[in-house]
Structure 1
Amino acid sequence: MSEENAEFIGEKGPQRRYVSEQHSFRLTQISTSQKIQLLILTILALITREWKIDEPSTVVFDELVVGNSVNSYISHKITSDINPPAGKIIYAWIASLFNYTIPKLGFRPNASYVNADGNLLFPYTLLRTFSAVCGSSLVIFMYKTLRSSGVRHSIALFGGFLVLFENSIVVQSRFFFLDAPFLAAIAFAISSIKSGDSMRTFSRKWLACLFLSAISLGYTISLKTSGFFVLVWAFAVTIKQIWYMIGDLKVKKCSIWRFTVLKFMLYLVIPASIYIYFFFVHINLLTERGPAYEELSPEYQRSLINNHLEHVYKDVFYGSSITLRHYTTGNYLHSYDAKYKNGHQQVTLVEQFEDPLNRWFLEEAGTNPSTDLLERNISIPSWGRVRLYHNGTEKHLRVDPDAKPPLSEQDYNREVTALGNNTWLGDDYTDLEVRIAPDYCKTNASKGRVQAIDTVFQLYSHRKGCFLLGTSKKLPEAWGHGQSEVLCIESPKFERSLWYIDSNEHPLFDETTPTVEFKKLSFWDKFVELNKLLFRTLASNKFDHPFMSKPKDWVMLNSGIPYYSEDNKFVYLFGNVITYHLVVLCVFCYALWQICRLILWNPHKELRFSERTYKYEFHGLDYFLGYVINLIPYVLLDQTFFLFCYLPALYFGILLVGQTFELIVSKRPSIGYLFTCLWAIAVFLTFVKFSPLIFGLKWNKENCMSLLLFSTWDNFCAAYKDE
């Protein structure tokens, strides 16, 4: 019996031949012996990912992020991240199943999961085991996907073999990171989509595959933001299918419309529903003040337990002591007793956290400050002028007349500092004009005079003709504590120059003073806000990291990430160099193949092709698109990335490798199988040689140095000591 699911036949059309996909409507038959072979491969995958999984018994790299999120869910404290919440919710659920109901471990780099008495503080091996199972499932999904693409059993096993012994996938599957469940969801989605392609359209099994693919796509986008690239790929593949259906004269137009509407509707509705569901769980679990508290709007903060907005006095007067928050980031205007590195005045910035040094005293510009401000209620109108006196350091906020900001050094930018003492009355450079932005204010009353929370305004320096604003640029840790720069700019983006008052105190306020009435947020309000926060955080995800890398480093495997180092034991995220280079070779060959086909294509010449060539082009295009769609965004975006960002593209690349080897074997069986065996041996030997980096085995510098094959590689052997 033929191993292919479908035959591709050239049909005679009115003017030229066309391709018609005539399915035999039978699933690929897998014999008992083939099932046993696949089972053995899967068991081997589980062994490689489970062996010594309890080592190291310390927090490793992104286990810090996931672990802190687990603690937040267990304690119901609000948290946020650059990724949707599904993965961390799943890990928290697993931890709670094994009686981790009270946070016992404060996650920090290299913190031990076991206390001095030998008691387990966190069920880390169970969470790592879940990750290992997810990583092992890739072998099954790889095999199933390739079989659905018309690839024979032996080559499909070879694809699973490449995943089994892919160093970087194994390493990521041995720790409770988000990557293993994320890759499992991607692999499940691809397998379901390709399985559906091999079945009769609109049959029950086809519909089942369609639902499964939509569900897995929902989990994909709910686990990591990069899952949206896979969703884009699914739509791209669907559009390709529609294009082929339009060219097939045997397919009725009504069938094409049904196919299009059904696929697009399910690929939109089901993933969106799953995505929303996990945010629903997230919102309902996290009801208390937590790590993400300062990044939320006042309305969201007010809905949380232990918030600081119980009694916020509404009207702001001269003489009020306030905190100012930046409208787009929610960061606080802050200053402290330290100098800018270039020798100018006191550092002023916007920071994420509540702090006594966030408090400013509102003086009326152009007048001498006196106790009168504390004895009278004088409202601040739009266009009113103020001076900001920093309570903590007794200095005035000032736009420097000459100095440029420490990071944004363009000519039109001015440094914002704090200057003076408790006797200095300020100067023209300390005067700021309050310009209320009516369209952003929350009540009619707040459009005419400054009110806490409700009034949104700009702060304008007449003397320098610039607006105060916060940037997303991070100051150095040494003197800026990694917080964001604040400056004065002549023509800012409007929203970036907006501020509002978060807290408001005045000696004349008492229990009869009106307080701010907060809008009660619905689920959808919170959902939108959390997603804005997520993508805002993602957009600002640019920072220096010693192990950051770029796509050009990934494809040729120039660098990795050290996860753990102690006593000549070293865990290092590094791919299987043979597999990585094989993927690049196959991607390049497919691109070259299609370019040549395009150049030689002649619409007036009869279409000639073989079934094996058509399978390579048809299915190979899906995997090529998957590779490109999951890689190109990282090339275009100027952010901080790491090697593990490449793994989804790598998985698509391995699928393309399997499709390429199927073409070679179908044309030249003896040569094809010889190549397959040689590549498999090379992959396995590379895995074995580099296994000390995967499992954290004892090694020495001499043996390690012998494996530094390329001068472009990072010298990861520096972690080992000479014997």
Structure 2
Amino acid sequence: MVVKERRTRKKTDEVVAVGKTPAPVVHQSAKQVASSSNYVFLIAKLIVTAISFVTRFHKLEFPNEVVFDEVHFGKFASHYLERKYFFDLHPPFAKLLLAFVGWMNNYNGAFKFENIGMVYPEDVPYVAYRLVSAWQGALVVPLVFSIMEQTGFSVAACTLSSLVVALDNAQILHSRLILLDSTLVFTFILSLYFYIRFLKSWRKPFTWGWTIWLALTGLSLSLVMSTKYVGLFAFLSVGSSVVCDLWRIADIRNGNSMRTVFRHFRTRAFYLILLPFFYFLIWFYIHFKVLTFSGPGDSFMSRRFQSTLAENPLTQQALEVHFYDRITIKSTANPSVFLHSHPDHYPRQYPDNRISSAGQQVTGYTHDDINNIWQLLPENDIPEAHRGRMPFVGRQAVRLYHPSTDSYLLTHDVASPNYSAYQEVTTVTGDEAVQRYNETLWDLEFVENPTGQAYTKVTTFRIRHPNTNAYLRQSDKTLPDWGFNQVDIHAPRNTDFGSSQIWTFDDIIDLEDRESRIPERDEESAGFGSMPFLFKYAELQDHMFRSNNNLVQDHPYNSWPKSWPLLRRGVSYWTKDQTKSQIYLMGNYFGWYLELVALMTFIVSVVADQLLQLRGIELFSVRARRKLYKTVSWFFGAWAFHYLPFFTMHRQLFLHHYLPAHVIASFVVGGMADIIFLQQETSESPRTVNKYMKVFTALTSIGMLLTFFWVAPLTYGWPLTPEQVRARQIGAVALHFNR
């Protein structure tokens, strides 16, 4: 039996995804079989590709209205074309691709895709935008077929897997709209195809062909990640195979020296990690180069970032700050307040019997007022005749003088009104200001400063009291009636409270020659500030991840991962009251449950095979077991990488997040069918199709086709009667016009 198994292994022409890849040994008879087999594969691939294109391109112009998240991604393309800065949770590649198509169609981006149901004007190339998704979605199907073919499965298995995707209504719907998911799925499946071609050239490492396939894998992986951050799962899917492959190469029994092992590791690290990250950065670099004007995304970014944008309201009002300027100082917290003081004093004793300094109150005030004005003085006062031009650059100690009460800002070791652990902030005047001179000194520590010179609106800073190492802070509490219910201002020591401790110069009061203080604009950025690319990238990443984690509010069509494989809940994309039409995200039930059965069959097969082997019983042939444990197990692992992580996420989740996993599960469908029906030791070719496989493929194809037409009205927006709508309400699916 062992001898027979070894001979069989030599005849095998399949390519496994991980582990030691057997080299094909083709005899004359096998070549003849392969010649006719290739023709059958080509015909089958053309048929499923034609189905894919027809289902995705059918009346792509309908509806001529904004559908679902076209309100976002169409709008982003318009912002690119107008070069106005916007903020989004996803990386820029797919959105830049849409903008490029708009630019090629001479579109100016005037339409803003504001609401679902808005009719597209004639000059908006919405069909061209949808074609981007349609082409990519259609090409996924032949790629699925080719991956199954390259990994050595039969033509029936290839056809079955590709039809699961070609006839899936959810995949079709997302391929017909201005969305990112088609780009995500296409680039991911493309990366799998390139990686499998790389594995097939394992006998010729470091050759041009081997290197090109590896480089293309890295490029396509970077495009996945540059479309959505869930593209990280694609890296995990391919990376798991890379680790196994390197483990095999490092095995001394394979005869590789340590120098060769290190060379393999170094080459893969370069093409699959370093270069993809470089490509990833390129799209952000283009993103920043295109978006140079102020736009709706400004408020998400720092003031330093905004200073690089042309026509930004903050930068247009920015003025150079000099010593002796009369200024207003404003917190950056939300809501923000002016630093304010007035002649009234803190009460000598609080209700809890704590004693205050009874000094002058310093508060936060939300309205313009003369008591918001402070004067910025240097540490050592200079006679007025010798002051001249003295720009404030933030590296000198300052005093904050309050003109309306003739006093100086100060904090000391006295408890604040609302927080006994934090210092009170007050002012001192007259002889006391002289005696306590050092206590009236402050350091303004810049947080964001575009050029080193301080500006109103743009420069932000913390106000630190060096004598006690306390920082001025806007409280989240207000004072009682004795403080006119204004915001409490206090000074915690050595504690970071974020934006509530960050301040900015809001305006310069009574400035005679404002034009002389307007900063010069940077010719390249059209703003007046500068910010290195990597700083911009790091800041944007921080805001993107924070915003993504904040998407926790409930949504009418929110669903959880446990319901996705069962297709229990979809998403309403578009409705039309006049015609009682709707577009609703719903997959092909037959295909989705076929995938679920295949996934469960894989798990049961592995468990059963392991248990039976303990008793010396061979459940599968050698060829079938090799496919089960190497190729199909890798597909199953990739499916798990694209599905299970969602159980750990606490943000909004929808059915369309399962689409990449759905495509991967189609490989398991074809793979398990091939293993169960075709893997006989006596087969002339591992790609021979017996009658059982033919019947199974035919029946499942008919089932998917019938289900596709049953769901199609919800995919394409065809009108349905209330009875027909109710017939399609399965599980938690809630359709419109059901009465």
TM-score tier, shorter chain, comes to 0.7 to 0.9
Q: 1:600 to 1:57 in 2, by over 3 A?
A: same
The reply to whether residue 699 of structure 1 matches residue 720 of structure 2 is yes
Please give the secondary structure, in 2, of the residue aligned with 1:630. helix
Partner Cα distance (1:3, 1:60) in 2? 53
Equivalent residue, structure 2, for 1:713? 732
Q: 1:606 to 1:52 in 2, by over 3 A?
A: closer
Partner Cα distance (1:301, 1:67) in 2? 24
Contact residue 458 and residue 467 of structure 1 kept, 8 A: no
Equivalent residue, structure 2, for 1:112? 118
Partner Cα distance (2:444, 2:599) in 1? 53
Q: 1:584 aligns with which of 590, 593, 596?
A: 596
Letter in 2 for 1:125: V
Please give the secondary structure, in 2, of the residue aligned with 1:631. helix
Q: How many residues align?
A: 614
Equivalent residue, structure 1, for 2:53? 46
Q: 1:315 to 1:189 in 2, by over 3 A?
A: same
Q: 1:193 to 1:360 in 2, by over 3 A?
A: same
Contact residue 587 and residue 624 of structure 1 kept, 8 A: yes
Equivalent residue, structure 2, for 1:283? 288
Aligned-residue offset at 1:255: 3.9
Please give the secondary structure, in 1, of the residue aligned with 2:553. coil
Aligned-residue offset at 1:600: 7.3
Gap regions ≥5 residues in structure 1: 9-18, 327-332, 335-357, 387-398, 403-411, 413-432, 460-464, 471-485
Letter in 1 for 2:160: F
Contact residue 340 and residue 373 of structure 2 kept, 8 A: no
Aligned-residue offset at 1:644: 0.8
Q: 1:306 aligns with which of 294, 306, 311?
A: 311
Q: 1:620 to 1:316 in 2, by over 3 A?
A: farther
The reply to whether residue 64 of structure 1 matches residue 71 of structure 2 is yes
Equivalent residue, structure 2, for 1:13? none
Please give the secondary structure, in 2, of the residue aligned with 1:23. coil
Aligned-residue offset at 1:647: 0.8
Equivalent residue, structure 1, for 2:496? 494
Partner Cα distance (2:375, 2:442) in 1? 23
Equivalent residue, structure 1, for 2:430? none
Counterpart mapping for 1:624-663 below 5 A: 624-663=636-675
Contact residue 165 and residue 171 of structure 2 kept, 8 A: yes
1:169-215 deviations in Å (ceiling 9; x for gaps): 00000111111121110110011112222223414433222121111
Counterpart mapping for 1:266-665 below 5 A: 266-307=271-312, 308-310=314-316, 311-314=318-321, 320-326=327-333, 333-334=334-335, 360=338, 362-363=340-341, 366-367=359-360, 374=373, 377=376, 453-456=459-462, 494=496, 496=498, 498-511=500-513, 520-566=530-576, 567-595=579-607, 610-665=622-677
Contact residue 14 and residue 151 of structure 2 kept, 8 A: no
- More deviation in 672-681 or 283-292? 672-681
Equivalent residue, structure 1, for 2:221? 217
Partner Cα distance (2:451, 2:717) in 1? 64
Contact residue 320 and residue 505 of structure 1 kept, 8 A: yes
The structure, 1 or 2, with the larger RCO (C-alpha pairs under 8 Å, 6+ apart) is 2
Letter in 2 for 1:96: W
Equivalent residue, structure 2, for 1:185? 187
Aligned-residue offset at 1:152: 1.1
Please give the secondary structure, in 2, of the residue aligned with 1:239. helix
Percent of aligned pairs with the same amino acid: 18
Partner Cα distance (2:618, 2:260) in 1? 28
Letter in 2 for 1:547: Y
Equivalent residue, structure 1, for 2:392? none
The reply to whether residue 5 of structure 1 matches residue 13 of structure 2 is yes
Aligned-residue offset at 1:560: 0.7
Aligned-residue offset at 1:454: 4.2
Aligned-residue offset at 1:238: 0.5
Counterpart mapping for 1:246-261 below 5 A: 246-247=250-251, 249-253=253-257, 254-261=259-266
Partner Cα distance (1:642, 1:487) in 2? 44
Equivalent residue, structure 1, for 2:485? none
Contact residue 631 and residue 649 of structure 1 kept, 8 A: yes
Partner Cα distance (1:280, 1:153) in 2? 44
Aligned-residue offset at 1:498: 5.0
Contact residue 318 and residue 363 of structure 1 kept, 8 A: no
The reply to whether residue 152 of structure 1 matches residue 154 of structure 2 is yes
Aligned-residue offset at 1:80: 2.0
Partner Cα distance (1:555, 1:46) in 2? 25
Aligned-residue offset at 1:52: 1.6
Partner Cα distance (2:451, 2:80) in 1? 39
1:685-714 deviations in Å (ceiling 9; x for gaps): 1111111001100111212222334xx332
Partner Cα distance (2:701, 2:226) in 1? 35
1:3-59 deviations in Å (ceiling 9; x for gaps): 953489xxxxxxxxxx85431288986633432331222122111111121111111
TM-score under structure 1 length normalisation: 0.75
TM-score under structure 2 length normalisation: 0.73
Letter in 2 for 1:70: A
Partner Cα distance (1:434, 1:577) in 2? 72
Partner Cα distance (2:586, 2:49) in 1? 22
- More deviation in 251-260 or 602-611? 602-611
Letter in 2 for 1:720: F
Partner Cα distance (1:656, 1:600) in 2? 22
Please give the secondary structure, in 1, of the residue aligned with 2:254. coil
Q: 1:322 to 1:588 in 2, by over 3 A?
A: farther
Q: 1:560 to 1:438 in 2, by over 3 A?
A: same
Q: 1:515 to 1:683 in 2, by over 3 A?
A: same
1:421-446 deviations in Å (ceiling 9; x for gaps): xxxxxxxxxxxx99979695869999
Q: 1:441 to 1:696 in 2, by over 3 A?
A: closer
Contact residue 452 and residue 516 of structure 1 kept, 8 A: no
Letter in 2 for 1:634: F
Q: 1:206 aligns with which of 204, 210, 217?
A: 210
Partner Cα distance (2:244, 2:569) in 1? 36
Partner Cα distance (1:6, 1:269) in 2? 31
Partner Cα distance (1:249, 1:205) in 2? 26
Please give the secondary structure, in 2, of the residue aligned with 1:110. coil
